[in-house]
Amino acid sequence: MSSSMVRALFTALVAPAGPALPPVVSRSPLVLFHVDSGGCEACGLEVEALKTGGYGLAEAGVEFSASPRLADMLLVTGGCSRMMAPVIRAAWEAMPRPKGLIAVGACARDGGLFPQNYATLGGLENHASVDLFVPGCPPTPSEILGAVIAVTARARSGSTRDTAA
């Protein structure tokens, strides 16, 4: 049985019900690199579910890379601990241009339950130019994928920036 048949069978049997998401049409695949920067980790787990759970990631023309050098967008979860801040910046600097930054969840936006203190920067909001904030605590995998597709469409309309804040 071919891999596409296996995927189709898997989708038919176990794919979660939910709104159909429009496909990414002109650039395939769109590659994401994920950094979990510290929090309760639920947002990171939702991203992991998106990677593996039959939410239509491949059908939308989106995939994850283990290397930022291959990534188009940096997807950050968690409140940006001071220990992980250099990791976020290193990943960003390793990515080719043009590139985008997505903050997933309340903590990645403004710290959420983990406001700025000696251990955390309190989210990306005041430290980087973020292309899209995905609200939620945590957002669902479908909401995360929908946001990725939305920011991709916006980039195609000409508003993608290509420099870090």
Main-chain dihedrals φ then ψ at residue 27, nearest 5 degrees = -140, 115
Out of 105, 122, 123, 141, point to the residue binding ligand SF4 (CB under 6 A).
105
CB count in 10 Å sphere of residue 65: 15
Could you say which DSSP state residue 90 is in?
Answer: H
Of 4-12, 39-47, 95-103, 115-123, which segment contacts ligand SF4 by CB under 6 A?
39-47
- Asked whether position 137 contacts ligand SF4 by CB under 6 A, the answer is yes
Position among 68, 78, 100, 123 found at the interface with ligand SF4 (CB under 6 A)? 78
Contact between 107 and ligand SF4 per CB under 6 A? yes
Judged by CB under 6 A, the residue of 11, 18, 40, 65 near ligand SF4 is 40
Task: Choose among 150, 143, 65: nearest CA to 104.
Answer: 143
Among 48, 79, 81, which residue's Cα sits nearest to residue 64?
48
State the nearest-atom distance from the C-beta of 79 to ligand SF4, in Å. 6
3-class secondary structure, 156: helix
- List interacting residues with ligand SF4 (CB under 6 A): 39-40, 42-43, 78, 105-107, 112-113, 137-138
